[in-house]
Amino acid sequence: MLKLPALLLILSLFPPSFVFAVTNPTSNSAAVTATVPGEPDTPTLISPANNSTISSTAPTFIFNPSLGAVYVDHYQLWLDGNLNTNNIGSSTITITANALTALTEGRHTWMIKALGEYGTSRNSATWIFTIDTTAPLILINQVAEHAASLSSLDLTTIPAGLTFSTNQRQPIISGQSEANAQITLIFSAKTTTTLTTTALADNTFSLKPGHNLDPDEYSVTIISTDPSGNTTTLPSFNLTILAPAPLLTISLPAPLPAITIPELPFGPMPKLPELLTAWPWLPACPISILPWIIILILILYILYLRYRLKRQKRPLTPITKPL
C-alpha cells in the first residue's frame, strides 16, 4: 500500500483526467441591487418672455424650479450660450436671478440648467429677447393742409408759440416714428380729443379726428411709445380751427314802398309787397342770390302772360251739325 506522500507525488506528476462529483455543492454568490440616478425635471422659464423686447440692460430672469423626485443642488443661468451665473440656490417656489454685468442693446438668448445629485442635469428651453433703450423718433410732415418738418431730435423746429391755422374741422396730422410704436395725438382746448394709432412697418402714421372739432385754438401734443416701453413726447404746438365766414344777408326797409306795374288788359301784375307776402323768405335771401330769384320770377310771370294772351287771341272754331 502506497503511503500518502508517495500518492501525492504520483498525482502531481500524472494529473488525473477525471473530475470528482460533489453532491449538493454550497453556493457562495450574492444578489446585488444598483440604482441609476435619473435627471431633474425641466425648469420652466417665465421672464423675459420669448421673442419679447425690453428696455432694461439689467433684466431680472424669472423661472419655476424643478419639482421632480430628483434632488436639485443648484441652478445655472446661461446667456448667449455661455455660463453667466452659477450656484443659484434651489427652491420650491419661483426663482429669480440677475446677470453678473449689464447687457448690451440687441438680441440675446437665455437658458436655465438644473444640476442634480450624482452629476445629473437638465436644461430648460432657450428663449430669445431683445434689449431696446432708444426712445423713438417723432417727425411731423403735415398739419392740416400745411407742409411741416417738426422733429423730436431738433427742438428748434418747434419754437415757442408755433401756430398753424385751418378751416378744416377734421384736420389730418401725419408723420413718421418707430415701426409698431403706438402714436397718441391729443387736441386740448375747452374740450379734449385723444386719438391713437400704430406706426406702420414703413414708419409712417396718419391721424384724423372722427368728428368735427369746434372752432377754437388747440394745443396739440403727440406721444410715441415703442414696443419696449420707451416714450418720446413732441413739444406742443398750436392749431387754430377757424370759424366759417357768416352768410351776408340784406334787410329790406319796412314798410316796403309800393311798386306798381302798368296794368295789362288781361289783369294786373302783383305788386312787390304781395310777392314778399307770398314768399316771406325772400328778404332774407343772400344778396348774391336775390337778383336771380327776382329775374326768375319775372321770367315765369312773362311766360304766364304770354300764355294768357294766346288764349285770348285764339279764334273760335265754328260748330257744324250734320244735315
202 and 180 in contact (C-beta within 8 Å)? no
Adjacent-strand bridge partners of 262: none
Closest by CA position to 219, among listed 207, 201, 234, 205? 234
* Residue written as grid cell 454550497: 26
Phi, psi for 98 (deg, rounded to 5): -130, 150
The CA-CA-CA angle for residues 74, 80, 81, to 5°, reads 60
Q: What are phi and psi of 33, to 5 degrees?
A: -110, 125
Cα 173 to Cα 185: distance, rounded to the nearest angstrom: 9
Closest CA to 225 of 153, 132, 154: 132
The pLDDT value given to residue 37: 63
Burial tier of 42 (Cβ tally within 10 Å: 0-12, 13-18, 19+): middle
212, containing H or E segment: none
Burial code (b: 16+ CB inside 10 Å, e: under 16) for 114-140 equals bbbeeebebebeebebebbeebbbbbb
CB 37 within 8 A of CB 115: no
Q: Which residues of the chain have pLDDT under 50?
A: 1-2, 17-22, 34, 264, 266, 323
How far CA 302 is from CA of 40, 264, 279, in Å, comes to 108, 12, 19
Q: What is the identity of the amino acid at 126?
A: T
Task: With CA atoms as reference, report the closest residue to 244 among 218, 219, 212.
Answer: 212
Q: 94: closest CA among 139, 135, 49, 45?
A: 45
Tally: H helices and E strands in the chain: 3, 18
Q: State the pLDDT at residue 201.
A: 95
pLDDT attached to residue 54? 93
For residues 72 and 66, is the Cβ–Cβ distance under 8 A? Answer: yes
Tell me how far apart the alpha carbons of residues 192 and 220 are, in angstroms, rounded to a whole number.
10
Nearest to 124 by CA among 110, 137, 134, 143: 110
Cis peptide before 255 (omega within 30 of 0): yes
Domains of the chain: 44-131 (2.60.40.1220), 139-241 (2.60.40.10)
3-state secondary structure of 290: helix
Q: What is the pLDDT of residue 291?
A: 74
Phi, psi (rounded to 5 degrees) for 87: 55, 45
**Amino acid 20: pLDDT:** 42
CA distance 123 to 115: 9
